[in-house]
Amino acid sequence: MTGYLYQCELALLELARRSWQDPTVEVRMELLDDIEFLDPDKKPRELLQAKHREAAGPLSETGKDFWRSVASWIDALENLSDPADTTLPILRLVSTQSAPPGTFFQYLSAGPDRDETKALERMERTAADDEGPGTTADDRELFMKLTPARRKQLVRAITVNDAAPLMSDLDPSLAKELGITPSDHAQAALDEIKGWWYGMAIKLLERRNPQRMRASVSAQELMCRRDEVTGRYIGRNLPITETLRHLTQAEIAQYNDRMVVTQMRWIDLPDEEVAMHLRDYHYARAQRSEWLRTFKITPERIDEYEGELHYEWENAFRRRTRRIRDDMSEEQRQTIGQEILDATMDRVADTPLRPGSVTAPWIGTGSVHGLSDQAGSAEADRQLGWHPDYRSRCNGPDETQEQ
C-alpha cells in the first residue's frame, strides 16, 4: 500500500520539479508505465518506474525491481515506437535503495560515473546467466531477445536514481519544489495541495467512467492550485485585467434571448437595471475565462466558488419566499423577486473567489447571473432564479417564450 501511495506522491513531486523549467509538461499514471511525462504533443518524453522499499538496502543486479522495470519498458516501447527509432523517451527507475559501486546501477546513474558501455556489458552478462534467480528469468530472457542494437539503444535511455527519499520523508522535498516557504501555515498549505492532488490521481486512474476520468494533469494546473492555496494564507488578490464600461445597445441585444435576461423580465426589472446587471455578467465571464486561460485559478476552485454563491442566493430566496401566499398578485410576487435579487447581490458582492483575499464585487454578482442563465438546463448542477415561481416557469417553455 505504501508503494502505491509513494507512486502517487512521487508523481506530484516530479511534476512540481519540472514546473519551473517547463510549465506545459503533463503527467499521467498507469498507462504505459507507473508515471509518464508528456511533451506538448502529448507524446511520452519520460517513463518512470517507482520502487519503494522501507528496508533501503542495496539494489541487486538480479533483483526483480530492475528486471521487471526493463520488461515493462520493452513492452511499452513496442506499443509506442518503431524498433528502428533512434530516439526513445527517458526510462527512469527511482528507487529508495542504493546503487552499490561497480554495478550497472552505478553506470546507469545521471552523475559522472555514468558509463553506458560498461552498463550494457554487465546487464548482458547478468541477463545471460543461467544460474540467475527464476523470479527474473523471463524478464532477463526478454532483454536478451532484443537485437544488440536495440539493447544498446534501450540502455542509453535508462537512468537510475537511487537512494530516493522514503515515503515518510517526501514532505520536505515536496514543499521545496512547490515553493512553499517555512511558515506557520506551511504544513497546512502542503496538506491542502496533496489533498487536491489525490483527487486528481483518482481521475487519472479512472478507466470506466468517462465523466470522471482525466487523461493528464499539467504543471500549469499544479502551480495554479499552489497559488490558490498559498495566496489564501497571505491574502493575495487575483489580478483584474478587465476594464468596466457600460455595454452598448448591440452588446445588450446579444443577451435578449438568454435566460439571464428572461429571469430579470419575470420580476419586471427596469431596462436600466437589466443593463447594469448584464454589465457585471458580461465582464465577470470575460475575467473568469482569462483567469482560467492563464492558469490563475483552477476549474475546481470556480466550482467551489459557485457553490458558495448558490448558498448565499438560497439563503436570500428561502427567507423571502416563506411568506408567499396563493392569493398573492403577480405584482406582489415580482416585488418579492426584486427583493431576492437585491439581497443576493448584497450577499455575494463580498464573497472572495480566493479565500483570504478581496475580489471585485462585480465578479460575484456577475457569476450569480451566470448561474441564473443556466436555470431550466438539465445539464446544470446549480440553478437559481429571482421570481418566486421561477422553477415552474423554467419548466414551462411555452410560458417562458410568452414572457
**Residue that terminates a domain, selected from 173, 193, 215:** 173
89-113 confidence digits (pLDDT tens): 999 999 999 999 999 999 999 989 9
209-242 confidence digits (pLDDT tens): 988 899 999 999 999 999 888 887 777 788 888 8
In a domain, 16, yes or no: yes
Helix (H) or strand (E) holding 29: strand 26-29
Please give the span between the terminal C-alpha atoms of the chain, in angstroms, as a whole number.
60
Q: What is the pLDDT of residue 401?
A: 42
164 and 253 in one domain?
A: no
**Residue that terminates a domain, selected from 173, 201, 228:** 173
In a domain, 230, yes or no: no
253 and 169 in one domain?
A: no
**Residue that terminates a domain, selected from 127, 145, 173:** 173
Q: What is the pLDDT of residue 83?
A: 54
Q: Is the pLDDT of residue 69 over 50?
A: yes
In a domain, 390, yes or no: yes
Q: What is the pLDDT of residue 111?
A: 87
Q: What is the pLDDT of residue 399?
A: 44
255 and 117 in one domain?
A: no
For range 137-151, the mean pLDDT: 95
Helix (H) or strand (E) holding 4: helix 2-19
Whose cell is 511533451? That residue is 39
283 and 159 in one domain?
A: no
258 and 160 in one domain?
A: no
Between 395 and 221, name the one with better pLDDT.
221
In a domain, 391, yes or no: yes
In a domain, 73, yes or no: yes
Q: What is the pLDDT of residue 294?
A: 86
**What is the grid cell recorded at 237?**
488578490
366-393 confidence digits (pLDDT tens): 999 999 999 878 676 788 999 999 999 9
149 and 8 in one domain?
A: yes
Query: Which is nearest to 200 in space by CA: 300, 307, 304, 293?
Result: 300
Q: State the residue range of the domain holding 336.
A: 249-402
Q: What is the pLDDT of residue 396?
A: 66
In a domain, 327, yes or no: yes
Q: What is the pLDDT of residue 86?
A: 58
- Do residues 75 and 143 lie in contact, with contact meaning Cβ atoms separated by under 8 Å? no
264 and 137 in one domain?
A: no
Q: Is the pLDDT of residue 397 over 60?
A: no
Q: What is the pLDDT of residue 81?
A: 60
Please, which pLDDT band fits residue 398 given cuts at 50, 70 and 90? very low
50-64 confidence digits (pLDDT tens): 999 987 789 999 999
269 and 130 in one domain?
A: no
User: How many other C-beta atoms can be found within 10 angstroms of the C-beta atom of residue 227?
Assistant: 18
- Do residues 321 and 293 lie in contact, with contact meaning Cβ atoms separated by under 8 Å? no
168 and 21 in one domain?
A: yes
Instruction: Count the domains in the chain.
Output: 2
In a domain, 193, yes or no: no
In a domain, 183, yes or no: no
Q: Is 0.75 topped by the overall pTM?
A: no
Please, which residues have CB within 8 angstroms of residue 397's CB and are 6 or more apart in sequence?
none
**What are the DSSP E strand ranges found in 184-287?**
217-218
260 and 118 in one domain?
A: no
